């Protein structure tokens, strides 16, 4: 009975910290806290309750289950940080490119207006026609390039965000299956006692 009580207590506290790691630390984005909880808590239980069965059980927990959990946590953190990094970089790039294009557009517009004012007296119709033809061609090409660039950036950010969400759902399903297996094992243990 004492072994069952200690193992149930250990499972309750371990899953409690694990769910805190999932639902709180993922949003806080602090990768130090969950690793401290995952390493310190089983080690403390290993030294405090050092009976033979509990030690074997915690040894299996430390060296089999915890590396898998830590690997999945590292994958999730890496994809979340990568998606945030790519999103910020694409926003900065988009802002810089749009600012440069707007500046180029204003300079070309000013140059065309100066050309129009210079040649208005002698060649009004000729310069007016070719200057505004050049302006319209430039605007259409510029609009096409900007739309293509924004389309690629948005698709890249959306794909990275969807990939990080899929990984989070996969980890959640894995933990639910893990919890169901442990609860079924403990129900069998309690039924035998």
Instruction: Give the tokens for residue 72.
Output: 């999945």
More confidently predicted of 115 and 39 = 115
Q: Where are the domains of the chain?
A: 2-192
* pTM greater than the 0.75 cutoff: no
Residue 32: pLDDT band (50, 70, 90) is: very low
Q: What span, in angstroms and rounded, lies between the C-alpha atoms of 92 and 84?
A: 12
Which one has a higher pLDDT value, 142 or 43? 142
pLDDT score, position 29: 46
How many H-runs (helices) and E-runs (strands) does the chain carry?
Answer: 6, 0
More confidently predicted of 48 and 120: 120
pLDDT tens, 144-179? Answer: 666 666 666 666 666 666 666 666 777 777 777 777
Residue 164 buriedness (CB in 10 A; 0-12 / 13-18 / 19+): buried
* DSSP 8-state secondary structure symbol assigned to residue 21: I
């Amino acid at each position: 009975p004492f072994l069952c009580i200690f193992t149930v207590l250990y499972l309750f506290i371990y899953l409690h910290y694990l769910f805190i790691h999932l639902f709180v630390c993922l949003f806080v984005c602090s990768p130090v806290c969950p690793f401290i909880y995952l390493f310190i808590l089983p080690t403390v239980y290993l030294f405090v309750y050092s009976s033979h069965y509990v030690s074997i059980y915690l040894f299996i927990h430390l060296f089999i289950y915890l590396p898998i959990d830590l690997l999945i946590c590292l994958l999730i953190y890496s994809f979340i940080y990568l998606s945030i990094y790519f999103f910020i970089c694409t926003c900065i790039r988009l802002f810089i490119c749009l600012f440069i294009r707007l500046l180029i557009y204003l300079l070309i517009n000013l140059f065309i207006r100066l050309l129009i004012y210079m040649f208005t007296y002698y060649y009004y119709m000729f310069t007016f026609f070719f200057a505004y033809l050049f302006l319209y061609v430039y605007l259409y090409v510029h609009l096409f390039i900007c739309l293509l660039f924004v389309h690629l950036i948005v698709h890249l950010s959306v794909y990275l965000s969807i990939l990080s969400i899929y990984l989070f759902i996969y980890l959640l399903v894995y933990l639910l299956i893990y919890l169901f297996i442990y609860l079924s094992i403990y129900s069998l243990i309690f039924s035998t006692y």
